[in-house]
Chains A and B, each alone.
Chain A
Amino acid sequence: MTTKLLTALLLGTSILGSAGVAYAADVTLNIESWRGDDLAIWKDKLIPAFEAKNPGIKVVFAPSAPTEYDAALGAKLAAGSAGDLITCRPFDKSLELFKKGNLADLSALPGMENFSPVAKSAWQTDDGKSSFCVPMASVIHGFIYNKDAFDKLGIKVPETRDEFFAALDKIKADGTYIPMAMGTKDLWEAATMGYQNIGPNYWKGEDGRAALIKGDQKLTDKDWVAPYEELAKWKPYLGDGFEAQTYPDSQNLFTLGRAAIYPAGSWEIGLFNTQAQFKMGAFPPPVEKAGDTCYISDHTDIGMGLNAASKNADAAKTFLSWVASPDFATIYANALPGFFSLNSAPVKMEDPLAQEFVSWRGKCKSTIRSTYQILSRGTPNLENETWVESANVINGTDTPEAAAKKLQTGLDSWYKPAK
């Protein structure tokens, strides 16, 4: 009896409360984010578009510095002063917040059906039952090339690995351009733009990734060693002294027109468009034989969740449903070329390079980086070790087999797949 009464009372107050708010004053929603770079886009494009459709709800975008975001957010959540909407880092960092009860369960949010399971995987519990952030954007891996250089040397865009290496040989023989702009100094280039870029074609995207998590496959299996074998073959095509070449060096090398191919992530598009003085194109990681199914790394990078302690949960849910809508996706993807909406509805984009990248979603199968979900929770950390070993393989200080064996031994030491 008492509980029923209490529920009724609570329901009554909540309806009255929200009704009162709707009539009396505007609700203001605060967004926590680390994307200070996007401040102008939110202020000038996204928020006005939302507010025009939803009178009575005001939205404030309040970013903090990327390096401080996680710590600052944690402190604010603990103190109860965090904003209503929380920009979500992918995987474990957000999962931890959900487990602590800081993020609300959004599985039933209208609009969530617009996303594929892969898109949602970054913000789900391990069993996939609860989702707690709306996926906003992903980045796609591939290769950006200097179109002028390809035309001059008469190279056509490679589709298979043989064509890829034939193209590299031709560029190298000509000598005008460095065949491929990549360095191993910063380590992550080798892993992210190398291993995770070409790898999905070998381990068959999601199938391989799921099998690895289940324990059916090992990093020492053929499909997981083969990308390392290909990486080892890249060495002669990299620039002089690539061992000390940093990530900004690689970017500059390519945008100055001194290198022909750049193993890329789509986030480069914005920068490259402003810096490069030549025409650019892009191609997905080459497959073994023409006609093979291709797989691309379409890595979930940013999402948005609801602060469980928010006083304006209803308004915040309205906003999140809008974030899940194609309207938001169109504005966001065009304002930030290279950050692609994860929405299943096709988004029309103006930037040709971004269009090229996103077109691969139609013909290839998407997956995310193999080390991000679940497998990087222990010590040694698989992602960090992958950085080190990928660089070692390209530097030639480790054989592909030795690198794979080290990674698997490290993983075995703490990870026991659920049977």
Chain B
Amino acid sequence: MNQNTRSFLALTKASLKMYYRNKGAIIFSLLIPVALLSIFGFLSKGSGSSIQIGLTNHATGELPKQFVETLKNIKAFKIKEITEEEATAELGKGNLDLEVIIPENFGAIENGKPITSNIQTLFNSAKPQSGQIANFAIIEIVSNIDRKLTNSPSVLSVKSTGVTTNNLGYFDFILPGILSMTIMQLGIFGVAFSFVAMKASGALRRIQATPVHPLYFVLAQATVRLLVTLATASLLIAFGTYIFGFHMVGSYFNFAIVAIIGILIFLGIGFAIAGWARDETQVAPVANLIQLPMLLLSGVFFSRDGFPSWLKTITDYFPLTYVSHGLRKIANQGASLAELLPDLIGMGVWLILIYILAVRVFKWE
């Protein structure tokens, strides 16, 4: 075996042992995401885990009836027939995700031709995720009916119908977000603190006194952190799937690819901080300064749709935005890697920038 390989494996083995013997740290790194997942899991269970839809039907006739039946047959929807006034009040209270108003002339025929008619939908801006998903489903149903009426071929309907029958709730929206948050925290805080501690205590210097290049030590640490973060993410997905019925629409493989790129970005930030800092006291403020804005503004817990446009533009470029958006697109909409190209390019640019910065600011002592 090549000596560098042997050194790398020895350091990786030692770092892995060091990590799994630190039971307290492992429990803590799992505790927060599991607690958050549980809170959101129970919250979305509380609202019936289905999407609450108010329905006001002003029309009579066969077509509106069919439309209402189709809606009622979707398991994810809970349909309540109410008046427009009631619906506005319920939306305001947050009891409804979406209000659907069928106009009088819906499906009416004039001079042997179907007339143009608009179904109006109002969604709850406090819960835009469920509202938008429901809205999307309704647009699909309406366009299906529309195609039937106008006799145009409906070649594209199959995939869309598949998406609408996925019982996607807020929990499905939040899990990729919490996963991104965990990846970020394990990468930035986990690495920065443990690495700077080894630097401050002199353990790193002791490695430099041996013939191994210290870069292999950094590589070994990064490898262990990558493995540990992947294991943690898998545990969280398993937890979300078995306890709260998380739905993965896309492929786990694509999900893992985006997660690994995300882990590498945040590890890079962690190493940059640890490489620059002299001891632990310098790590905490810098790590927080980087983590907090991302945690609040990257759309991890809520959609960024409500942001003013300038803030949305800035936060578009946050690494956590790319990661959480990418993971969410795969998990909720089954996006392929090709569809995520803009996110992947963004992550790639960050990856390069971070590692250039880390090398620049790195100090061994």
Q: Do A and B interact with each other, yes or no?
A: no
